[in-house]
Structure 1
Amino acid sequence: MLSYQHSYHAGNHADVLKHIILGEVVAGMQKKETPIFLLDAFASRGIYDLNSPEAQKNREFETGIARLWALRNDPHPLGVARWFKLIEQKNSDGDFSHLPGSTALLAAMMRPQDRLAACDLHPQEFEGLQASFKSSRNLALHKRDAFEAMKALLPPKEKRGMVFLDPSYEEKGEYRKLATAVAKVYSRFAGGVYVVWYPLLPAANHNELFAVLRRAGIRKILRIELDCHGAFPQMQMQGSGMLIVNPPWAAEDAMKASLHWINTHLLSGKGKTHFGWLVPE
């Protein structure tokens, strides 16, 4: 669907988990010097204006970044520090109104030997992406369908790669479609790292995502989840999670520390967290 625009939801509790953990995965992969290809398959616009009418409509950022910004100078895990530093770099006035999304995070973390492709098919979102980033030898912007891009761009010439997938899930069938696409690409690029974000909604459709991936025979799928446990009754989404296929071993402790920090400081420790294997090795 081309109706979804992330600006309405930017900066919420799911974005906090999503971007901090994504940064940990990439940092873990970068422990090795060899090049990495990064694919942001549902990139959206890359940087969000939280003063925009879209962001101000529901003010979902008040469930995430707005609750945490005052803590930016306190001691916190390295992954959280990386996230805060990136936001500070995008705001010269000490505020957080220009909020970097996944493409901005990945672009900031790229080393000279790495390469990033960011895709979005929505016309307005892609225009925002072009306004925020310029194509170069290391950064390619694609106005194309995410699933088509996965087929075309993988496996990469670098032989190492990370694919980030966070679709809108506006249609129930998208959970199955995403899992099926991951399974197909995995059959051609089994060494890739696949990071899949999903929402926790009352219908619990994420269980279909789990089931399809389990049946696909993929091994080493880590499940990280934060259930806000009713902290935001005005929102239908009461938490989110991430599945990581082939998680870098060097990132495990860092991801645990970040998950604990988010629960402690965003939810006063009252959220329900999960960190374990959906499918073991």
Structure 2
Amino acid sequence: MVYDHLRHAGNAGDVWKHLILAEVADRLLAAGVRVYVESHAGRPEYQLRPGGEWEGGVGRLWPVRDELAASPYFQIVAALNPHRLERYPGSAAIVLELARRRGFALRAELWDTSPEVEEAWRSVEKGRSLKINFHIGDGFSGASRLTRDLDEAALLLVDSPYVERDDATLVRDLISRSAAAGWVVLSWQVLGPEAGARPACNHREFALRFEEAGLVCGPMKGAAMVLAWDEGGFLDQKIDDLIEELGRIEIDLPKVAGRMSESF
């Protein structure tokens, strides 16, 4: 698997992924979920350099961050950048920070194939009370095994780069298996005719067309986050409220487009 997180960090796809992830994670943490799983993790943090894809993503929203300050995602990005936009958090770092703010240690199970990414997480762990289990290897099979071994609910982010022919099938199967185990699952996908790993379980898709939100990401027109779950779990009563809030975000975010600045 080859995917350059460094080049894409903070782009329009990341904005939508992390905006939804932070909202879902914050609500599930409040509901008692204490395990976070990520099948395709990147680094804890990225340096944003001139000319990067972030300029068409988080960079476009930075001038209106105060209007978006109610979002846990924008709160975390703003706290990381008190003076100017230079640093960008990875997915797992966002969820771990939300747990820290609530005053407890979250168990994180992360998979990636890069030794450099593993070392970055090892450096973060030093001197801090973090429960991070980083695994070098295939996140599809690793997370799938965990659904059999874990006896509590978890939040899973499936963030496949879709570089292999079978990835869409593997994503769909992992979502369905995880939801059946009582987990809540989020999966990032590109909008388009070929997009789509739609699981057999209950799911809802929340989409953002980048142009409508004043964002740019090369030829990519938009992205979607699929929320999946299984009926009967202790989180059932929370799902309706969560869906309502994510639907509101889906409608409201593009409205800031008319107030955006092209530079900052």
TM-score between both structures, scaled by the size of structure 1: 0.77
Give the Å deviation of 1:109.
1.3
Are 2:96 and 2:106, in contact at CA under 8 Å, matched by a contact in 1?
no
Q: Is 1:175–2:168 an aligned residue pair?
A: yes
Question: What secondary structure, in the 3-state scheme, does the structure 2 residue paired with 1:236 have?
Answer: coil
Which of residues 205, 210, 213 is equivalent to 1:228? Answer: 210
CA–CA distance in structure 2, aligned partners of residues 20 and 252 of structure 1: 14
Paired letter, 2:19: I
Q: Could you say if the C-alpha distance between residues 151 and 249 of structure 1 is closer, same or farther in structure 2, counting changes exceeding 3 Å?
A: same
Paired letter, 1:24: E
Q: Is 1:47–2:37 an aligned residue pair?
A: no
CA–CA distance in structure 2, aligned partners of residues 62 and 48 of structure 1: 14
Sequence identity (%) = 22
Question: What secondary structure, in the 3-state scheme, does the structure 1 residue paired with 2:66 have?
Answer: coil
Q: Is 1:242–2:240 an aligned residue pair?
A: no
CA–CA distance in structure 2, aligned partners of residues 241 and 28 of structure 1: 20
Give the Å deviation of 1:155.
4.5
Written as runs of structure 1 = structure 2, the 5 A alignment for 1:74-223 is 74=67, 76=68, 78-79=70-71, 82-92=72-82, 94-110=83-99, 111=102, 112=104, 114-134=106-126, 136=129, 138-155=131-148, 157=150, 159-187=152-180, 189=181, 191-201=182-192, 204-207=193-196, 209-210=197-198, 213=199, 216=200, 218=201, 220-223=202-205
Partner of 2:232: none
Question: What secondary structure, in the 3-state scheme, does the structure 2 residue paired with 1:154 have?
Answer: helix
Are 2:56 and 2:215, in contact at CA under 8 Å, matched by a contact in 1?
yes
Give the Å deviation of 1:266.
4.2
Written as runs of structure 1 = structure 2, the 5 A alignment for 1:8-87 is 8-32=7-31, 34-51=32-49, 56=50, 59-74=52-67, 76=68, 78-79=70-71, 82-87=72-77
Are 1:10 and 1:48, in contact at CA under 8 Å, matched by a contact in 2?
yes
CA–CA distance in structure 2, aligned partners of residues 258 and 68 of structure 1: 14
Are 2:64 and 2:259, in contact at CA under 8 Å, matched by a contact in 1?
no
Q: Could you say if the C-alpha distance between residues 175 and 235 of structure 1 is closer, same or farther in structure 2, counting changes exceeding 3 Å?
A: same
Q: Could you say if the C-alpha distance between residues 36 and 23 of structure 1 is closer, same or farther in structure 2, counting changes exceeding 3 Å?
A: same
Two-structure CA RMSD over aligned residues (Å):
2.7
Total equivalences in the alignment = 247
Written as runs of structure 1 = structure 2, the 5 A alignment for 1:234-273 is 235-246=218-229, 248-266=239-257
Are 1:222 and 1:243, in contact at CA under 8 Å, matched by a contact in 2?
yes
CA–CA distance in structure 2, aligned partners of residues 254 and 193 of structure 1: 16
TM-score between both structures, scaled by the size of structure 2: 0.82
Give the Å deviation of 1:133.
4.2
Are 2:36 and 2:108, in contact at CA under 8 Å, matched by a contact in 1?
yes
Question: What secondary structure, in the 3-state scheme, does the structure 1 residue paired with 2:30 have?
Answer: coil
CA–CA distance in structure 2, aligned partners of residues 255 and 84 of structure 1: 15
Are 2:210 and 2:216, in contact at CA under 8 Å, matched by a contact in 1?
no
Are 2:12 and 2:57, in contact at CA under 8 Å, matched by a contact in 1?
yes
Are 2:57 and 2:215, in contact at CA under 8 Å, matched by a contact in 1?
no
Q: Could you say if the C-alpha distance between residues 236 and 127 of structure 1 is closer, same or farther in structure 2, counting changes exceeding 3 Å?
A: farther
Are 2:179 and 2:228, in contact at CA under 8 Å, matched by a contact in 1?
no
Paired letter, 1:239: G
CA–CA distance in structure 1, aligned partners of residues 12 and 240 of structure 2: 26
Question: What secondary structure, in the 3-state scheme, does the structure 2 residue paired with 1:21 have?
Answer: helix
CA–CA distance in structure 1, aligned partners of residues 167 and 3 of structure 2: 13
Are 1:91 and 1:98, in contact at CA under 8 Å, matched by a contact in 2?
yes
Paired letter, 2:131: N
Q: Please list every run of 5 or more consecutive structure 1 residues that lacks an aligned counterpart in the other structure.
A: 270-281
CA–CA distance in structure 2, aligned partners of residues 233 and 23 of structure 1: 21
Question: What secondary structure, in the 3-state scheme, does the structure 2 residue paired with 1:255 have?
Answer: helix
Q: Could you say if the C-alpha distance between residues 226 and 35 of structure 1 is closer, same or farther in structure 2, counting changes exceeding 3 Å?
A: closer
Give the Å deviation of 1:117.
1.8
Give the Å deviation of 1:193.
0.4
